[in-house]
Copies of this chain bind each other. A is one copy, B any other.
Amino acid sequence: MVIAIDAMGGDHGPKVTVPASIHFLKRFPDFHLILVGDASLLQEALQSKHYDHDRLTVLHASQQVLMDEAPATVLRTKKDSSMRVAINLVKEGKANACVSAGNTGALMATARFVLKTLPGIDRPAIISTFPTYQPDKNMRMLDLGANVDSPAATLLQFAVMGSVLASALDHLPHPSVYLLNIGEEEIKGNEQVKQTAALLSDLKLINYKGYIEGDAIYRGEADVIVCDGFVGNVALKASEGVANFIIKLLKESFSRNIFTKCVGLMVMPILRSLKKRIDPARFNGAVLIGLNGIVIKSHGGAKVPAFENAIQAAKRLVEENIADRIKQEVGRVLSQRALGDGSIEGNL
């Protein structure tokens, strides 16, 4: 099994992608990695490192996508970028998945252009994992910003894809799927949400449970939460904002004077275990879902352990054969909707 790595992407480039890749290869002896990027830079970064040379290939790409380039410009002018070449490897069947920490908009546009969406899927979505109150339970939410103004039919596709992903990765027979709304009552919500609820209520193939509010994201009753990309992105960013705010206040509180600094030293291990529970690095590796192939987006600022987590996310999706499973399930939903059938059989 082969994973292509956009080795030039992200804020740190090869400084992060190379050591993360080597560490990944040590832990997972069944995998082969292709590092795509400036060959001389990559060879230099690899020089002093110990790794299995049979399972790591360097593939040269002459260009690099910058973090602030417009997706349309990238599509037009960066045909030999490390990002594009890595995605091409998936398209050509030379890699089972690819991972990039590059510019999200450019990655989405390039992946969509090169790989195309699965049959029955209008738009790909970004899905990621969120921690919850329940230590061993994660929640998956989509779309986190790939699309805005998504019609109800698209949100329905997101629900199906999210359900398949949660089912495969968390081994849940019937993942609970909720729609993000501003109240739990029937009458609440905008037109988009109301129309999607009507479609989901008719669709017996997924375990649709109704509306859920923003404060429930972290409570853990939902396996999957579906929303428009605008709303999902705001919820994600607002969450990050609050977490950073509280952590900053905590640090300030403990650095106020000698006494608080001493207390702070004792508290460190406790805060560290807390941080581990909500550490974005642990949850790094969003999936661009709905494409003919697996593409993982790492956070741009990811350090080595976080980027390795993103490669591991790709590994799990490859092992669970996600792209094919979504294709099948979407096919079943489309035929169910065509036939007006409401059965809840099968492995969803």
Contacts and interface: CB of A to CB of B under 8 A. Distances in A.
Copies of the chain in the assembly: 2
Nearest to A189: B148
Contacts of A149: 190-191
Nearest to A245: B218
A339 interface: no
Contacts of A169: none
Contacts of A148: 182, 189-191
Interface in A243-267: 243-246, 248-250, 253-254, 256, 260, 263, 266-267
Interface residues of A, number: 59
A209 interface: no
Interface string A164-193: 000000000000000010110101011101
A338 interface: no
Contact of A278 (B182, B234, B246): B246
Given A133-B248, A231-B234, 19 more contacts: A68-B185, A70-B185, A148-B190, A180-B234, A182-B233, A193-B230, A214-B236, A214-B239, A215-B237, A215-B244, A217-B238, A219-B241, A234-B238, A235-B235, A239-B239, A253-B274, A260-B270, A263-B263, A267-B267
